[in-house]
Amino acid sequence: MSSPNLLFIVADQFRAMCLEPGGDPVSTPFLDAMKHDGVSLTHAVSSYPVCSPHRAMMMSGQYPEANGVTHNVNSETAIWGVGLRPDAPSWAAVLRDAGYNTGYIGKWHLEAPVPEDAVHGTGPLEDGRYWDAWSPPDRRHGFDFWYSYGCCDEHLTPHYWTSDAGRHQRVNVTGWSAAHESDVAIEFLQRAATDPPGGATGVPGPSTGGRPFALAVSWNPPHQPFDQLPADHDTSYTSRTPAELLNRPNVELDSLIGGEAAAIAPLYYAAVSAIDAQVGRLLGSLDSLGLADDTLVIFTSDHGQQMGSHGLLYKNVPFEESMRIPWVMRWPGRLESTAADRVGISSIDMAPTLLGLLGHSAAVPAAMHGKDISAVLLAQGEGAAEEGCAGRLGTPSSLYFYYPRDENDVAIRGLRTATGKIIARFHAGQGLSISVFNLLDDPYELENITDPAVVRRWAGDLSDALVAAGQSWRGQEALEELANTTLGAHL
């Protein structure tokens, strides 16, 4: 077909290790099959591994200061002006303008809450902040069909705002959120498969008119609360030992955090397996409806989770357990199978790459900062790849961002490649500190490299990458000074 479909699936806090041989001991048969039949990128990276900043980059193809999302979006950060800017570009808007039937189902977490959201959304948490928000129709960034919410960590009693609903007209649901959202997605797919051009079928929902579709499905699990699971969840993980569940050597099982990680691991893996089952439902629907051959399916996440690694439980840190995410693609006969290990994708590359994969490279907005690497992901003859472009476009490289909350907080920038990583932390009162890791020899980031020549080279690479990306930060002057020191200088 001339205009392929897109099914874009996001599972919150689903780390890459869940899908790797020798990785997390969790059962994911449907995603394993999707990997086998398609392509899974080893070097897919969340450049700012916390919900809102990654999602904003993924949607807009812009760095945080440009798209307006430098922190997680909630009532506190909204006062600072944090929220996806109305004029930010998005891949969905480009596809809608190209004639696509666009839809969004599930967690959004890009709309800045207003006081009315504290009444009609989830409401304030114990600290007084509220995170949930209704998105006005003119701030949905190209999605016409809407069945979504802002941020609500209630997996068994979720709620949603539909396409035409006002802020006070939310839909309350009882049942596991990911399963319910999959039900809605399957209804969307059924309409897409059966609605003739220009006609309606009687199936509830908007007519697709025979247009290609671009549907995003955003599940909150396996995000916490970890104990809010479907009734039929896999309980077998509770019989495994902590050492079996947490098999990464950078987890101290005897520590307090190690104990907490061991307690949540069986629940986290149960949620991962339950998410895998929902992937199976969606893929099965595409198959049964005859849509599979003409639909690009992508499964990804906004960030991972530490699960005890480096003495941490959650995310928003520059370690592999947080940064690395799945990027699994299925599109029969259309993808380059050798791309798995030699091609990388970061948060800002996702929007332009999606457009390129669907044949709309020429329509990538100039305001997007990311690279369209579709040419190295498509099978020979599918893309506009030139000789040698795999090395030029596909080289795994990603910037890392952490924006300080106030003048007393640390500002962090980093650079991750397929072979190594530098993390630069700058504090106004303490100056610059550097961590460098060799990911080939030390994949668990246990040995901080302090060799002056190595550190200097990495500092120069990070400084150059930030300048090339047009990104400034508090530590830039100190970073450039370090990069320009003589090899024998004290670090």
User: Containing H/E element for 358?
Assistant: none
Can you tell me whether residue 171 is helix, strand or coil?
strand
Residue spans in the chain of domains classed CATH 3.30.1120: 404-483
Planar angle of CA 229, 350, 154, nearest 5 degrees: 20
Three-class DSSP category at 413: strand
Q: Which residue has the tokens 């003048």?
A: 407
**Ranges for all domains in the chain classified under CATH 3.40.720.10:** 5-394
List the CATH code of the domain at 5-394. Answer: 3.40.720.10
Question: Within 10 A of 425 (CB to CB), how many other CB atoms are there?
Answer: 18
Coil vs helix vs strand at 60: helix
Domain 404-483 -> CATH class = alpha beta
Cis peptide leading into residue 196 (ω within 30°) = no
Tens-level pLDDT at each residue, the chain (491 residues)? 468 999 999 999 999 999 999 999 999 999 999 999 999 999 999 999 999 999 999 999 999 999 999 999 999 999 999 999 999 999 999 999 999 999 999 999 999 999 999 999 999 999 999 999 999 999 999 999 999 999 999 999 999 999 999 999 999 999 999 999 999 999 999 999 987 444 433 333 444 557 899 999 999 999 999 999 999 999 999 999 999 999 999 999 999 999 999 999 999 999 999 999 999 999 999 999 999 999 999 999 999 999 999 999 999 999 999 999 999 999 999 999 888 888 999 999 999 999 999 999 999 999 999 999 999 999 865 544 433 333 345 568 999 999 999 989 999 999 999 999 999 999 988 999 999 999 999 999 999 999 999 999 999 999 999 999 999 999 999 999 999 985 444 33
Give dist(CA 299, CA 37) in Å, integer: 13
pTM (predicted TM-score)? 0.94
Give the three-class secondary structure for 297. Answer: strand
